[in-house]
């Protein structure tokens, strides 16, 4: 089947062989990013860059108007804005438990990150509130992708 025809069978599984060398990717966080990494590692807090009335997460070195901005805490809630369900390995073997991978954005900031969601694919939906589950403090390195083990559905607090 020609590559340009893939969209005619949207439910078919397509494999794109190759290797992503993610471990070789180097990200330079800038000054705000270094402080945000420290806050995540030491305090379990998420910091973004405030530019006027807008907070950007992950933090940026410069605001859109090229000013420096300032750090501000990102408190959420966090919501799923897009997701996919992975049911097979790259080799085509069926997974015992499907993986849900989502773009997750905080309500109080622009941006977000991509991470695992520990939930059944049947219960996940766009706009679903989730919360990050962090590694224990002594295991954190200040990297949001590695220091968050996953996101879990946020359960409504019950009143007693």
Domain residue spans of the chain: 27-153
* Better-predicted residue by pLDDT, 96 or 13: 96
Mean model confidence pLDDT for the chain: 86
Q: pLDDT band at 12, cuts 50/70/90?
A: low
CA distance 17 to 73: 40
Q: Topology of domain 27-153, per CATH?
A: OB fold (Dihydrolipoamide Acetyltransferase, E2P) (2.40.50)
Three-class secondary structure assignment of the chain: CCHHHHHHCCCCCCCCCCCCCHHHCCCCCHHHHHHHHHHHHHHCCEEEEEECCEEEECCCCCCCCCCCCEEEEECCCEEEEEEEEEEECCCCCEEEEEEEEEEEEECCCEECEEEEECCCHHHCCCCCEEEEEECCHHHCCCCHHHHEEEEEECCCCCCC
36-78 tens-digit pLDDT? 999 999 999 999 999 999 999 999 888 999 888 999 999 999 9
pTM: 0.79
With cut-offs at 50, 70 and 90, classify the pLDDT of residue 1. Answer: very low
- Would you give the end-to-end CA distance of the chain in angstroms? 59
């Amino acid at each position: 089947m020609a590559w340009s025809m893939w969209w005619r069978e949207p439910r078919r599984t397509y494999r794109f062989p190759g290797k992503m060398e993610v471990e070789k990717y180097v990200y330079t966080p800038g000054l705000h990013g270094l402080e945000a990494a420290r806050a995540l590692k030491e305090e379990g807090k998420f910091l973004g860059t405030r530019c006027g009335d807008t907070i950007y997460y992950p933090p940026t070195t410069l605001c859109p108007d090229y000013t420096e901005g300032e750090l501000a805490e990102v408190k959420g809630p966090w919501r799923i804005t897009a997701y996919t369900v992975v049911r097979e390995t790259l080799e085509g073997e069926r997974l015992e438990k499907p993986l849900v991978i989502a773009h997750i954005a905080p309500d109080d900031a622009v941006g977000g990150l991509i991470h695992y969601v520990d939930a059944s694919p049947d219960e996940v939906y766009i706009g679903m509130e989730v919360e990050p589950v962090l590694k224990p403090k002594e295991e954190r390195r200040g990297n949001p992708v590695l220091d968050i083990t996953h996101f879990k559905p946020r359960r409504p607090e019950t009143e007693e």
